[in-house]
Chain A
């Protein structure tokens, strides 16, 4: 089966904090694409979801996730900047993301409950919002975020999967995990239960950082070393880089849908320091 890209988006807004490129591909085996990707350069937002459920329910769940979270955050950040501190001390971005993820969860869960053809549908999620000198990352399930910074390539998210739990508890080794028949079993997902707790973290960003968001169709087919090599050699051109990643997954079998979002940090806006921090710096 010819693999045709079903979605892609590019942005070259040089004023934005990040340059973003998203692409989603059917792979070589599947009859349809259950992944969804969304990038909003103005917001500095990237969202990737890998849907699950019979018939076309997976597509419905993943596209509900990306669009509901995209629209919800657009609204939530319209009157209140992401970097503003909330009462508890964290960023508004952090809180807004949790809020929108939970709302999307509710909507997907309700659709799955009320419409028989959507029963049991759900989706993984990995997303980030870039603002100032920070990104807030949220994830559920086994879709991943990697970071390439200089020579350092690392996975920023830890899968919510049965395999990862077995690895953590020492049940199986990394080489055994590759042989496991229990792949693709996620322990947290969007839309499966009435409420959900996404894992949300804030990280500092640096100019030149490259972030790779992907569905398991990529990292199951291409090992980390090859992912790192592609990011390092092709970071100058996100579109070529993303297309190359998809090609590699498909050349290795393309057993699942493959989705990739690449983000390159173009500039960082340092956070204004409080009078107290400035005083502390001056005392030092």
Chain B
């Protein structure tokens, strides 16, 4: 479960687990996290928690709510975020699951429609009027790719001498309707696979197998649809 760690000047004051759907922060005593300081509004901010996700909303506080130095109206909390209210800091801790736990977290689960609409309804009702402020989020890191750049150069046939860098996940070679093969870029390297046509591509002097990716080596010569080309790496 996610939790909040309240501190001031590096001194930890309190730790609160986000067990409730609504966790309020403010100066008045009825708040779940009470901060008795005049810089804090009576009802300063609220954290809405829906299962494993939490959203922070500023409740039009006088001095504002900041996350990682930025003023926010509404913010989708990420592990490690630091919320600042006046001199107080609140760290949001929601450890992403370790690789070994991936089994549990990626498991598909059903939620009952009643629970669902209840949850969604509450979230909707509590939703702030200004949903605009959204922090930019880095895209998931792509799979590791081979570092050397790969090219094919046409040796014999139409367009001899032409060189092409292989940058995409899938690159097609050949002529549609006659003979087509693809080079796929994978973390393990580059592979040639037959796609279309009665004849299979030849690598070196060997005809590759149908429906089986053929790993390409530096300086392999590929023959497809009457065109010979060389596959090679450049650093």
Would you call B53 and A186 a contact (CB within 8 A)?
Answer: no
Chain A contact-residue range equals: 35 or more
Which A residues are CB-close (under 8 A) to B113?
A: 187-188, 193
Interface string of A169-180 (1 = CB under 8 A from B): 111110110111
User: In the complex, which residue of chain A has the Cβ closest to the Cβ of B123?
Assistant: A171
Report whether A171 and B124 are in contact in the complex, using a CB–CB cutoff of 8 Å: yes
In the complex the two chains form, is A171's CB within 8 Å of B169's CB? Answer: no
A172 adjacent to B211 (CB under 8 Å): no
Residues of A contacting B53 with CB < 8 Å?
Answer: 172, 180-182
Q: Enumerate A119-162 residues with CB–CB distance to B below 8 Å.
A: 122, 124, 141-142, 162
Flag if B170 contacts A233 (CB, 8 Å): yes
Q: Judging by beta carbons under 8 Å apart, are A239 and B106 in contact?
A: no
Q: Which residues of A contact B186 (CB under 8 A)?
A: 247, 251
Most chain A CB within 10 A, of B102, B111, B139, is at B111
The answer to whether B220 has its CB under 8 Å from any CB of chain A is no
Q: How far is the CB of B135 from chain A (nearest CB, A)?
A: 9
Does the CB pair B108–A124 fall under 8 Å? yes
**B residues near A170, Cβ cutoff 8 Å:** 127, 131
Find out whether the CB atom of A175 lies under 8 angstroms from the CB atom of B134.
Answer: yes
A179 to chain B, nearest CB (A): 5
Considering the chains assembled together, what is the distance between the CA atoms of A162 and B123 in angstroms?
12
A97 within 8 A of B: no
Once the chains are docked, how many angstroms separate the CA of A165 from the CA of B193? 40
What separation, in Å, do the CA atoms of A193 and B110 have in the docked complex?
10
Residues of A within 8 A of B211 (CB): 239-240, 243
A25 within 8 A of B: no
B143 contacts which chain A residues (CB < 8 A)? 251-253
Query: Considering the chains assembled together, what is the distance between the CA atoms of A230 and B51 in angstroms?
Result: 35
Residue of B nearest to A183 (CB): B106
Q: Which of B50, B96, B193 contacts A182 (CB 8 A)?
A: B50
Write the nearest CB–CB distance from A161 to chain B, whole angstroms.
Answer: 9
The residues of B that contact A74 with a CB separation of less than 8 Å are none
How many B residues touch the partner, as a band? Answer: 35 or more
With contacts A169-B124, A236-B180, A236-B196 taken as known, whether A179 is within 8 angstroms of B106 at the C-beta atoms is: no
Task: Say whether B69 faces chain A, with CB atoms less than 8 Å apart.
Answer: no
Chain B residue, CB-CB nearest to A192? B110
In the assembled complex, B195 has its CB within 8 A of some CB on chain A? yes
Cβ proximity bits A184-196 to B, threshold 8 Å, 1 near / 0 not: 1111110011000
Tell me the complex Cα distance, A233–B116, Å: 40
Q: Which residues of B contact A29 (CB under 8 A)?
A: 102-103, 106
The reply to whether B110 and A166 contact each other, CB–CB distance below 8 Å, is no
Q: Are A187 and B116 in contact, with the CB atoms below 8 A?
A: yes
**A237: interface (CB < 8 Å):** yes
Q: Does B61 interact with chain A (Cβ within 8 Å)?
A: no
In the bound complex, how far is the Cα of B139 from the Cα of A256, in angstroms?
A: 19
Beta-carbon contact of A184 and B170 below 8 Å: no
Question: Shortest beta-carbon distance, A264 to chain B, in Å?
Answer: 13
Question: A243 vs B211: C-alpha distance in the bound complex, in angstroms?
Answer: 9
Tell me whether B184 and A162 are in contact (CB under 8 A). no
A184 and B107 contacting across the interface, CB-CB below 8 Å: yes
Determine if B226 is an interface residue (Cβ-Cβ < 8 Å). no
User: In the complex, what residues of A have CB within 8 A of residue B193's CB?
Assistant: 240, 244
Shortest C-beta distance, A216 to chain B (Å), equals: 7
User: With A and B bound together, what is the CA distance between A117 and B233 in angstroms?
Assistant: 54
Query: Complex formed: what's the CA distance from A124 to B107 in Å?
Result: 12
Contacts of A252 in B (CB 8 A): 142-143
Least CB distance, B200 to chain A, in whole angstroms: 12
Given contacts A188-B113, A236-B195, 20 further A-B contacts (CB under 8 A): A162-B111, A162-B119, A165-B120, A169-B123, A171-B127, A173-B134, A175-B137, A180-B52, A181-B51, A181-B53, A186-B111, A187-B113, A220-B106, A233-B172, A233-B182, A236-B176, A236-B180, A244-B184, A247-B186, A256-B106
A residues at B contact (CB < 8 Å):
29-31, 50, 52, 122, 124, 141-142, 162, 165-166, 169-173, 175-176, 178-189, 192-193, 216, 220, 226, 229-230, 233-234, 236-237, 239-240, 243-244, 247-248, 251-253, 255-256
Report B's interface with A, CB cutoff 8 A. 50-53, 76, 78, 94, 96, 102-103, 105-113, 116, 119-120, 123-124, 127, 131, 134, 136-137, 139-140, 142-143, 168-170, 172, 176, 180, 182, 184, 186-187, 193-196, 211, 213
